[in-house]
Amino acid sequence: MIGHPSRIEEVTADENPVDLFPCMNTLGIHVEARAQLYSLLTGGFLDDAMQLEPMMQQLTEDGPNIHLLDSSLTRQLADRDEDDIEELVGLWLECEPIEALELDGEDLSDFLFQLVHFCKTATQGDGLGVYLYSDG
């Protein structure tokens, strides 16, 4: 979802973020699979990529949680063009966590295009960030 930090802080566990913010579906692409993408983007280690979604807010003890996509990663994603996205999807499809999800290239392309669009929107807005809402 895209939002301003002050508004994100106001979210409660009983609110549905879809009703409050522009949102996209992650298609079940869990943090380990997203970290593979981040590692491909940054050229860094997977352990470092796992740190690019720090938790910003824990709505209850058992979740849901809100994570912020690292601002440098948001900028890197925002700078991607269509050719970059297709190349990344090709590489990402070869990662074991993505293979286990049994998503096809079209699903991943759609997800990545939407994510890039969200990042472009966030970088153009004053103080906006890209946040991930997870159940636990």
Contacts 24+ apart (CB under 8 A), 35-44: 36/92, 36/95, 36/97, 36/98, 37/88, 37/92, 37/112, 38/73, 40/88, 40/91, 40/92, 40/95, 41/73, 41/76, 41/77, 41/88, 42/73, 42/76
Tell me the per-residue pLDDT of 75-130, one tens digit each, with 9 for 90 and over: 999 999 988 999 999 999 999 999 999 898 999 999 999 999 999 999 998 899 99
When pLDDT is averaged across residues 48-70 and rounded to a whole number, the result is 95
Phi, psi of 111 (to 5 degrees): -60, -50
Place of tokens 């470092």: 48
Q: How far apart are CA 121 and CA 115, in angstroms?
A: 10
Q: How far apart are CA 14 and CA 93, in angstroms?
A: 35
**Percentage of the chain lying above the pLDDT 70 cut:** 99
When pLDDT is averaged across residues 129-135 and rounded to a whole number, the result is 94
